[in-house]
Amino acid sequence: MVRRKLYDPNRPRRDEVEWPSTFWRHATITRDDAYACKFGEEEEKWGIVGLLHDFGYERWPDPPDHPLKGAEILAEHGYPEDVINAIKSHADYLTDCPRLSVMDKTLYACDELAGFCTAVAMIRPQRIRGMKAKSVKKLMVLQKI
């Protein structure tokens, strides 16, 4: 399998959008490139989708601007349509952007799970340090998720 780079010299630069540490923490957790490997897809592309799915959120946090404004910027910089569709479809309130592909559905699931794991970590005295999967599973059962 030949891997092609998704980056181009005109891609959005880090200074074009505010990138607080909470954004990077969430984006890193949401990276779904491990699932790409499982499904035989392009790992780099799926990793980028996970990292960029909330691109522009700090500047435009309100629906429907998030994630549409970030998607516009990514489109201007030549990101592939399937990447942009996955990013747009992770928002429940964009009914005209259904989750059709495996990448769309996986991003949505990873995004939701990342948020839940973060919430679990926030109620623990040690936060994320030492947190085990059983802590998350226990609360999922209690919450009937």
As for how many domains the chain has, the answer is 1
* Residue 42 located in a structural domain: yes
The boundaries of the domain holding residue 74 are 18-142
**Sequential pLDDT tens for the chain (145 residues):** 444 454 455 555 544 544 456 766 777 777 777 888 899 999 889 989 998 999 888 889 899 998 999 999 999 999 999 999 999 999 999 999 999 999 999 999 999 988 888 888 888 899 888 889 998 898 888 887 6
Cα-only R_g, the chain: 16
Q: Residue 97: which region, alpha, beta or left (left: phi > 0; alpha: psi -120 to 50)? A: beta
CA–CA distance, 72 with 52 (Å, rounded to integer): 12
The pLDDT value given to residue 56: 81
* Residue 7 located in a structural domain: no
Contact status, residue 6 vs residue 79, Cβ threshold 8 Å: yes
With vertex at residue 35, the alpha carbon angle to CA 114 and CA 54, rounded to the nearest 5 degrees, is: 40
The pLDDT value given to residue 15: 47
- Torsion over CA: 115, 117, 123, 128 (sign): negative
Of 53, 46, 49, 58, nearest in space to 22 by CA: 58
* Residue 8 located in a structural domain: no
CA–CA distance, 87 with 46 (Å, rounded to integer): 11
